[in-house]
Amino acid sequence: MQILLPIAGLGTRVRPHTHVRPKPMLSLAGKPVLGHLLDHLLSLKPSSVILVVGERAEPIEQYVRAHYDVPLHIRVQAKPRGQSHAIAVAKDVIEEPLLIVFGDTLFETDLAELTDPATDGAICVRRVDDPRRFGVVELRDGLITRLIEKPEQPPTDLAVIGVYMVNDYSGLLRAIDAQMRSGEALKGEYYLAGALQRMMDAGGRFKPVEAAGWWDTGTIDAVLDAHRYLVLRNQSRPASAPRAQIVEPCWVDPSATLDRCVVGPYVTVGARTRIRNCVVSDAIIGDDVELSNQVLTRSVIGNNATLDGRPLSFNIADDSWTQVVDALGGAG
């Protein structure tokens, strides 16, 4: 079995952070999103990992080669032409059953059930409150018959989360080739759901596998929500922080310095970062950051950033109403 991760997206919804690093390299609870994903997937002991990357391939390749002992293929998708096209870019190295996982998806499931060879493949799904917001599966006799994007009247509440096991990898490549030759694209992009639907229409048997957990990292809010789960699972405290209060769960690099501050819950503090005179919760603070005199929540601070403010002072009479406005004019 091989694992293929299409991670060439520009990450426009998590800017400005993706201006300076690829989206899979956003660090949560001590390692990049890509690292958390590989930690979960490599228990399958694949014969190789295929990464389909965009223009900034170097930091991704360096990270994986430095931290994982697995045969690695790197392919570059020079233009954003969709998921099916990303797989086609790597067709020269696809030679076994293929587990495809989108790079902005963190999930938990029984991987052995996902890789069951009794069918042509499996699609990982998760029950959601409002299926109209997602692509969903339609079922018949326990198998998937249709993939439907954001239906007005969903046939099920099982949303597709971006994890696909395809045992018939040759059939997938043929379906992608037919999809692209027919010009079956939406706004210039070829979606994997279209190729998989071709396989099902031709008799392909795909089963649903329900994920125990699913965390998206496609937007800043989604990143912070996924971060909560990762911090809870990978808590870490500094060796010494006598003048700081740490409210668990947190992940704090041992080299960080915390002085006269309250940190947590749900905070990551990166390597060599210094935080003083601050109250920080529900936030991701990168490496080599200088943070002082701040009250932060639901925030992401990139590496090597400096954020310095001054404490607020109030003299407020009875029955007053006060609104704090930040430097950009927004209400705090």
- State the average pLDDT over residues 183-194: 84
- The verdict on 176 and 295 lying in the same domain is no
CB atoms within 10 A of CB 319: 5
CA distance 276 to 163: 42
Please state, in angstroms and rounded to a whole number, the distance separating the CA atoms of residues 311 and 330. 18
pLDDT band at 331 (very low <50, low <70, confident <90, very high): very low
Is 229 part of any domain? no
Of the residues 175, 196, 223, the one at which a domain ends: 223
pLDDT digits (tens, 9 = 90+) for 50-80: 999 887 778 888 888 999 999 999 999 888 7
Residue 326 confidence (pLDDT): 59
Please check whether residues 169 and 241 belong to one and the same domain.
no
Residues 258 and 110 in one domain: no
For the residues of 186-197, what is the DSSP string, one character each?
A: BTTB--HHHHHH
Is 256 strand, coil or helix? coil
- Beta-carbon-side half-sphere exposure of residue 237 (alpha carbons within 13 Å): 11
Identify whether residues 31 and 122 lie together within a single domain.
yes
The CATH number of whichever domain residue 144 belongs to comes to 3.90.550.10
Phi first, then psi, for residue 226 (nearest 5°) are -65, -35
Residue with tokens 């059953």: 97
- Residue 208 pLDDT > 90: yes
Is residue 139 assigned to a domain? yes
In this structure, is residue 316 part of a structural domain?
A: no
Distance CA 324, CA 332 (A): 5
Give the residue, 324 or 80, on which the prediction is more confident.
Answer: 80
The domain tally of the chain equals 2
One domain for residues 178 and 36: yes
Farthest CA pair distance, the chain: 74
Q: Each residue of 261-283: pLDDT tens digit? A: 999 899 999 999 999 999 999 99
- Domain limits for position 270: 235-308
Please report the DSSP string for 295-307 in residue order: EEEEEEE-TT-EE
